[in-house]
Amino acid sequence: MKVGYYQFSPKFGEPSQNLERIRKELSGVEADIIVLPELAFTGYYFKDREELRSMAEDISQSSTVESLSDLCKDNDFYVVTGFAEREKDKLYNSALLIGPSGVVSCYRKLHLFNTEKEYFDPGDTPLDTIEVRGVKVGLMICFDWVFPEVARTLALRGADLLCHPANLVLTFCQKAMLTRCLENSVFAVTANRTGTEIRPHGKLAFTGQSQI
C-alpha cells in the first residue's frame, strides 16, 4: 500500500478556499490513502460554539464531502481528513475516511484538547478498523495520541495502519506517536498542519513535522 499526507496551513474560516487548495494539490497524486490534518477545511481555533456551528457541516448534506468523494473517484484513492461535523444539535471533531464510492467511515474524537471542550461534544463512535485494499485501517485524531489505550484498542482490533489527522502544538507529540507504533507493531500516518492562527481570543502555532 502506498500512503501519504498533505501538510499545509489552512486559512481559518475559509472552507471553500482550503478545499480548492487540497483538490489542486492532490489531483493526479498516485497513492492508496492520503491523510489530511485535523479540521482541514475550517481551521482550528474557534472562539465559541456558535462560530463552530456556523462552519460545521452535516456529512449527508456536505458539499465538502461530495467534492472530496469526486476527487477520490477521479484519482482512485482514499482520503482521511479532519472535519467539523454537525449532527442535529451536536458538534463533533471528526475524521472521515472517504473513497471513490463516498464516505466509508466516520470517527468522532474521544479526547478533546484544552478549549475544544468548550465547543465540541465528546465523540460517541467506537474505535474500530476498516479494510482498505487489504490493509486494516484505524482512525484517531490529534490528542488521542496521549492515551495509549486508543492505539492499543485499534491494534487489538486488527489495525495495520493508524491514520492520525492532527493539529499538534506540543513539541513532543511526533516522538510519542513513534512510541505508539513500537508498542503495538503498527504503522501510522500523522498529518499535522503548519502555520499560526491569530484570533481575538489568542494565538496558536502548529508544529508541522508530519510523519509516516
pLDDT tens-digit readout, 98-150: 999 999 999 999 999 999 999 999 999 999 999 999 999 999 999 999 999 99
Give residue 1's pLDDT.
Answer: 96
Give yes or no: 181 in active site: no
Give residue 147's pLDDT.
Answer: 97
pLDDT tens-digit readout, 41-86: 999 999 999 999 999 999 999 999 999 999 999 999 999 999 999 9
Bin 211: left if φ > 0, else alpha if -120 < ψ < 50, else beta: beta
Give yes or no: 38 in active site: yes
pLDDT tens-digit readout, 19-32: 999 999 999 999 99
CATH topology of domain 3-205: Nitrilase/N-carbamoyl-D-aminoacid amidohydrolase (3.60.110)
Give residue 86's pLDDT.
Answer: 99
| Mean pLDDT value across residues 177-199 | 98
Give residue 139's pLDDT.
Answer: 99
Give residue 57's pLDDT.
Answer: 99
Give residue 136's pLDDT.
Answer: 99
| Catalytic residue (choose from 109, 116, 163, 197) | 109
| Catalytic residue (choose from 72, 142, 163, 173) | 142
In angstroms, the Cα distances linking 137 to 72, 107, 157 are 17, 12, 10
Give yes or no: 72 in active site: no
Give residue 25's pLDDT.
Answer: 98
In angstroms, the Cα distances linking 70 to 16, 41, 64, 65 are 15, 16, 10, 9
Per-residue HEC secondary structure of 144-187 comes to HHHCHHHHHHHHHCCCCEEEEECCCCCCCHHHHHHHHHHHHCCE
Give residue 143's pLDDT.
Answer: 98
Domain ranges of the chain: 3-205
